[in-house]
Amino acid sequence: MNAPALSGEGVAPAAGAGELESGQMATKGSILEVADLGAAYGPFDALFDVTFAIGRGQAVALVGANGAGKSTVARVVTGLVPATGGRVIFDGEDITNRSAHDIANRGIAHLTEGRSVFATLTVEENLVLPFRRALGRKAVPRALGEAYERFPRLGERRGQSAGTLSGGEQRMLALARVLVLRQPLVVVDELSFGLAPVVVEEVYAALTQVLDAGTSLLIIEQHVERALELAHQVVVLTKGRVAYDGSVAAVRGRLGDLVLGRGNEMPESAGPAPDSPG
Amino acid sequence: MSQLLSFALPGVPYGCVFALMAVGLVLTYKASGVFNLAFGAQAFVSALTYVSLIDGGWPRWAAAVIAVLVIGPVVGILLDRLLFRRIRTASPLVTLVPSLGLLVALPQVAIMVVGSIPVIPPPALVGNAQRVYLHLGSVPVSGLELSVTGATLVVVAGLVALFRFTPVGLEMRAVVESPRLTELAGIDSSRIGLAAWILSSVLAGLAGVLLAPLYAQVDPQNFTVLLVWGIAGAVIGRFTSLPLALVGGLALGIGQQILAGYLPPGVVANGLRPSLPFFVLLIFLPLVGTSRATDPLAGCDPPTSAVERAVSGYRSGATAAAGGSWESLAGGAVTSVGVWHRRLDGAAPTPLADRFTRRPTATLALVVGVVAVISALTWVPPDWLFTMNQALAVSIIFLSLTLLTGMSGLISLCQATFAGLGGFVAGQLAVHFGLPVMIGVIAGGLLAALLGVVVAIPTLRLAGLSLALATLAFALLADNILFPVSWVGNGAGGVTVPRPSAGPISFAAAKPFFLLSLVVLGGAALVVKLVGDGTMGRYLAAVRGSELASSSVGIDVTRLRVLVFAISAGLAGVGGAMSGSLEGSLSPDAYGYQVSIVLLAVVAIVGIGSISGAIVAGVVYEVLQQAVTTLPARFAGLVAVLFGLAALSYTRHPEGFLDVLGGRAERVIERARNRRATARQGSGSVPPPTGGPVVAQAGGMS
């Protein structure tokens, strides 16, 4: 049991992002390995034996129909939903069913579906909150400066509550945190959901920056084509199971069928994502 | 103007304390997902500590520091660690019952620890409570008012500073919005939750110490009454906004004094002031969004639908129907219509005899029941027979909760009000109009049913916690407006209720009355069973699963809800009338809102999901109370303590201990049978008995 502490000072500072990055390079070259993962919401099983891996610096697109369990995979990886079976290995360490804050401090960021910033806090508070924890109090002003430099719009709105930002600005705010902290792995869940096409471009440009900075990505995206542009590898989920795991090139053309869980009887149609919003 | 001021000013200390309570309630509710009704008990514990220490010769400031900054947080930390942390995502009933239990039990435990409540008038924090220090205009300001207002201002300034300028304040605000997003930012939200609990407990302690001097003596009652005001303040803040809660509490405190000043004296006017929280709740509760609406990560919680999942006895049809894909939850809820049916009577078309051999516990229950009835009619001494009679009457009231909360998932904290009305009607009709008591019992039931409709209609939109709070406030309203009226509860005087007779047969003696009660209880049980087995029961199960899905398949949810409230209130009314007739007289105190709280908690703990649960609850409730009277006086609080412990264990067994025990017993018997069967087959190596520890466990349950 932790000693009850009212202030943040009493706690050992969390591992900084840089430290994590350099640690344990000895493992196979996967930043994340998921093996035989199972998960459930109460009595409802959501995942069955999900297995895949993400290489260092690589981007993996996780696609599937609505309710296939994409978000659940993301939530289990970052500790929001408990795993009922299997293992999650991050950077060579077993992090299965560790608490979400522990996993976050180890270096996995999770941009959740929908809003992933605190609407009631100001832009600056949204940044200060994770910065102070990850970098220590002294480094906060410099980190803020860096964030505002990358996204000047956020600097202009630093005193505004994040709930009043546009959807795109909210995504920028979430990405700013990731960019500054340089976390080794970022899980992005429906980053483009509800955004205007122009804004989607902007957000994806920022996400590309994140990838170029050496961060690995797990991308869940309804605009499958867009995710595939960025991804090195695709994992298709169907009803909570992995239906395909492999290269992007090999899957082109039959992705729609895989997602819908159909065999190969359909003519090829690489078309738009079957799980378009509705 | 000066008249208004003279009315308003005495309200300021009340307002300050209500504001502190409202802020404390909102803080824990948002940070830990639990609406902490035990807040009133926490305030009492600190007040008691404060007064006891002063009585023991401590200086006031030291006593206050111990009471507010030591005892308060310690109680809060214990509550968080031992209980509330584990139930954050549980259903409303599961989070409510433990806090109701603590509200009742905690003060008794504290009194037992201290020994007795000191008889000294509690002094104010600083200065002399009564002395007038200054005048505002022409209005005198006493030391009490000064110290309460001063302390509140300091606390509010401290809170503002904490939330605006400190890291932990920022983290707390983040947790209040979404504990999960906070976790994703790398912050241990349970640690912050604990900090919120500590802070809230300090506020509870402070409220207690500040309130104490308003009364001649510290008394747990006062603190529960005032808690309702705090709740109203929290509701004005929509359970989310701390500043609004603060303002709301303050406005209520001042408003009630102004109201009292301008209203003419009289029962209704006197009752109107204490009923203000009810009206506030009625107006503001529908404005309260669902608690998790603002948390973008609420989807991470497993689905909880009303009591559906809490009362696991009703094996959820949704589970089977959805077949692993929880998107079809709505469909499952509707499918569960058919499942309720199977549950209530085991398996619908099974012959009776078969059922008993299949469920040995049912046989056991039948034997115990028959033995109890024969004993009651033969050798049981009068005082215990009286207890058994009481058990029958209260079982009827418990049955009304089985129907309302168990089957329908509607949490009511005003069942005792319905019961009381039933009793008063029976008594009034018999005494003033000379009607037969049995007619009065029926009339009482009918009028209670009518009152049920009156409660159901304005609360149609409410569910879960909101409904519980609204009914609690209604109970308070009835206690203050309805029951003091001479032609209802007749205030402190109470109402005489004779024993019934039917023609030449008199039920005045205990044994005939026992038989009569048995028949009435049987009738009530039959009503509940018929409702449960019939179409209505299936509709209720569907609505419990999902109100929306039910109305989409054409179930008239509004009608159903009003109807079930009416039937339930009617049953409670009959139970109350029988109880009143047994006792001979009935005072409104016996059916105050605290009684409703205890009733709900008791039947939930024993088993709110079945008819047998209600009857066993009645027996346990009355027998324990009677048993304690045979013990030395200092064990008087024992029932409350047992009750509190049971309420704590309830979170682990929301289906009630009857189901747990029954399940265990059946497993043991099953295993013994299997063993015998194996032995008979002569397979040689009989596996080592594994039933031993289970028997021990089952025996150890309290």
Q: Tell me, what's the pLDDT at A4? A: 41
pLDDT band at A76, cuts 50/70/90? Answer: very high
B324 touches chain A (CB under 8 A): yes
Contacts 24+ apart (CB under 8 A), A147-150: A147/A176, A147/A177, A147/A179, A147/A180, A150/A176, A150/A179, A150/A180, A150/A209
Tell me which amino acid residue B17 is: V
Task: Give the nearest partner residue to B325 out of A2, A67, A110, using CB atoms.
Answer: A67
Decide if pLDDT at B343 tops 60.
no
B174 touches chain A (CB under 8 A): yes
Q: How many CB atoms lie within 10 A of CB B384?
A: 16
The DSSP bridge partners found for residue B223 are: none
pLDDT band at B452, cuts 50/70/90? Answer: very high
pLDDT band at B267, cuts 50/70/90? Answer: low
Q: Tell me, what's the pLDDT at A272? A: 42
CA atoms within 13 A on the CB side of B681: 9
Spatial contact of B307 and B406, defined as CB atoms under 8 Å apart: yes
Q: Supply the pTM of this predicted model.
A: 0.77
In chain B, which residue's Cα lies nearest the Cα of A111? B184
Q: Tell me, what's the pLDDT at A134? A: 87
Q: Tell me, what's the pLDDT at B303? A: 59
H-helix or E-strand spanning residue A33: strand A30-41
Look at B184 and A100 and tell me if their CB atoms are within 8 Å: yes
Whole-angstrom CA distances from A103 to A20, A184, B93, B168 are 12, 12, 33, 20
Please name the residues between 21 and 60 in chain A that touch chain B, using a CB distance below 8 Å. 40-46
Over residues B112-134, the mean pLDDT reads 76
Q: Is A108 helix (H, G, I), strand (E, B) or coil?
A: strand
The per-residue pLDDT for range B396-445, each reduced to its tens digit, is: 999 999 999 988 889 999 999 999 999 999 888 888 888 888 888 999 99
The per-residue pLDDT for range A101-121, each reduced to its tens digit, is: 999 999 899 998 878 889 888
- The radius of gyration computed from the CA coordinates of chain A, to the nearest angstrom, equals 19
Which is nearest to A243 in space by CA: A65, A112, A100, A86?
A: A65
The region of weakest confidence among A185-189, B63-67, B355-359 is B355-359
Decide if pLDDT at B269 tops 70.
no
Residue with more model confidence, A193 or B324: A193
The region of weakest confidence among B300-304, B339-343, B586-590 is B339-343
Strands (E), A158-202: 185-189
Spatial contact of B572 and B591, defined as CB atoms under 8 Å apart: no
Show the DSSP H helices in A56-166 as ranges. 70-77, 100-106, 123-135, 140-150, 152-156
Which residue has 């029954």 as its token pair?
B662
Cα distance between residue B35 and residue B240, in whole Å: 12
Residue B114 token pair: 């201290």
pLDDT band at B268, cuts 50/70/90? Answer: low
Please name the residues between 209 and 268 in chain A that touch chain B, using a CB distance below 8 Å. 239
pLDDT band at B46, cuts 50/70/90? Answer: very high
Task: Give the nearest partner residue to A4 out of B173, B198, B325, using CB atoms.
Answer: B198
Return the biggest CA–CA distance within chain B: 98
Q: Tell me, what's the pLDDT at B359? A: 66
A132 touches chain B (CB under 8 A): yes
Cα distance between residue A239 and residue A258, in whole Å: 11
The region of weakest confidence among A86-100, A105-119, B22-36 is B22-36
Decide if pLDDT at B465 tops 80.
yes
Contacts of A14 in chain B (CB under 8 A): 186
Over residues B597-614, the mean pLDDT reads 88
Contacts of A7 in chain B (CB under 8 A): 166-168
Contacts of A43 in chain B (CB under 8 A): 302, 316, 319
The region of weakest confidence among A183-187, B195-199, B208-212, B264-268 is B264-268
B323 touches chain A (CB under 8 A): no
Cα distance between residue B271 and residue B305, in whole Å: 37
DSSP 8-class letter at B695: H
Q: Which CATH number fits domain A59-75+106-260: 3.40.50.300, 3.40.50.1100, 1.10.3720.10, 3.30.365.10?
A: 3.40.50.300
Q: What is the distance between the terminal CA atoms of chain A, rounded to a whole angstrom?
A: 46
Cα distance between residue B543 and residue B561, in whole Å: 9
Task: Give the nearest partner residue to A2 out of B184, B191, B324, using CB atoms.
Answer: B191
Chain A interface test: which of B79, B85, B188, B328 (most A C-beta within 10 Å): B188
pLDDT band at B639, cuts 50/70/90? Answer: confident
Which residue has 């996400």 as its token pair?
A207
Show the DSSP H helices in B263-300 as ranges. 267-284
Within 8 A by CB and 6+ apart from B42, the residues are B36, B72, B75, B76, B79, B106, B201, B204, B205, B208
Quote the distance between the C-alpha of residue A51 and its chain's center: 17
Q: Average pLDDT of chain B?
A: 79
Contacts of A15 in chain B (CB under 8 A): none
Cα distance between residue B487 and residue B493, in whole Å: 11
List the domains of chain B with CATH numbers.
2-287 (1.10.3470), 317-655 (1.10.3470), 658-700 (no CATH)
Q: How many CB atoms lie within 10 A of CB B2?
A: 10
* Cα angle, residue B476 at apex, residues B474 and B481 outer, rounded to 5°: 90
Decide if pLDDT at A23 tops 60.
no
Decide if pLDDT at B304 tops 60.
no
Residue with more model confidence, B385 or B288: B385
Over residues A126-135, the mean pLDDT reads 91
CA distance B109 to chain A (A): 25
CA distance B284 to chain A (A): 22
Q: Tell me, what's the pLDDT at B375? A: 82
In chain B, which residue's Cα lies nearest the Cα of A9? B167
Cα distance between residue A47 and residue A61, in whole Å: 17
Q: Tell me, what's the pLDDT at B309? A: 34
Contacts of B170 in chain A (CB under 8 A): 121, 125, 128-129
Q: How many CB atoms lie within 10 A of CB B461?
A: 11
Task: Give the nearest partner residue to A128 out of B170, B191, B302, using CB atoms.
Answer: B170
Within 8 A by CB and 6+ apart from B158, the residues are none
Contacts of B185 in chain A (CB under 8 A): 101, 104, 129-130, 133, 177
The region of weakest confidence among A17-31, B403-417, B496-510 is A17-31
CA distance B30 to chain A (A): 13
Over residues B44-50, the mean pLDDT reads 91
Over residues B227-234, the mean pLDDT reads 90
The region of weakest confidence among B71-85, B359-373, B470-484 is B359-373
The ipTM assigned to this model is 0.81
Under 8 Å CB pairs connecting chains A and B tally to 125
Over residues B477-504, the mean pLDDT reads 78
| Polymer length in residues for chain B | 702
Look at B184 and A6 and tell me if their CB atoms are within 8 Å: no
Look at A44 and B299 and tell me if their CB atoms are within 8 Å: no
Q: Tell me, what's the pLDDT at B416? A: 94
Cα distance between residue A185 and residue A105, in whole Å: 11
The region of weakest confidence among A30-44, A133-147, A202-216, B274-288 is B274-288
Residue with more model confidence, B115 or B581: B581
Contacts of B78 in chain A (CB under 8 A): none
Look at B296 and A67 and tell me if their CB atoms are within 8 Å: no
Q: Tell me, what's the pLDDT at B310? A: 33
Strands (E), B456-537: 495-496, 501-502, 505-506
The region of weakest confidence among B454-458, B482-486, B684-688 is B684-688
The region of weakest confidence among A126-130, B153-157, B274-278, B594-598 is B274-278
Quote the distance between the C-alpha of residue B523 and its chain's center: 26
Residue B400 token pair: 């009304």
pLDDT band at B250, cuts 50/70/90? Answer: very high
The per-residue pLDDT for range B662-676, each reduced to its tens digit, is: 778 878 888 888 888
pLDDT band at B449, cuts 50/70/90? Answer: very high
Show the DSSP H helices in B347-506 as ranges. 352-358, 360-377, 382-401, 415-433, 437-456, 464-477
Strands (E), B137-272: 139-142
pLDDT band at B282, cuts 50/70/90? Answer: confident
B292 touches chain A (CB under 8 A): no
Look at A101 and B194 and tell me if their CB atoms are within 8 Å: no
Over residues B485-498, the mean pLDDT reads 77
Q: Average pLDDT of chain A?
A: 80
Over residues B105-124, the mean pLDDT reads 82
Look at A120 and B309 and tell me if their CB atoms are within 8 Å: no
Which is nearest to A97 in space by CA: A165, A176, A23, A39?
A: A39
Decide if pLDDT at B392 tops 50.
yes
Chain A interface test: which of B27, B32, B183 (most A C-beta within 10 Å): B183
A2 touches chain B (CB under 8 A): yes
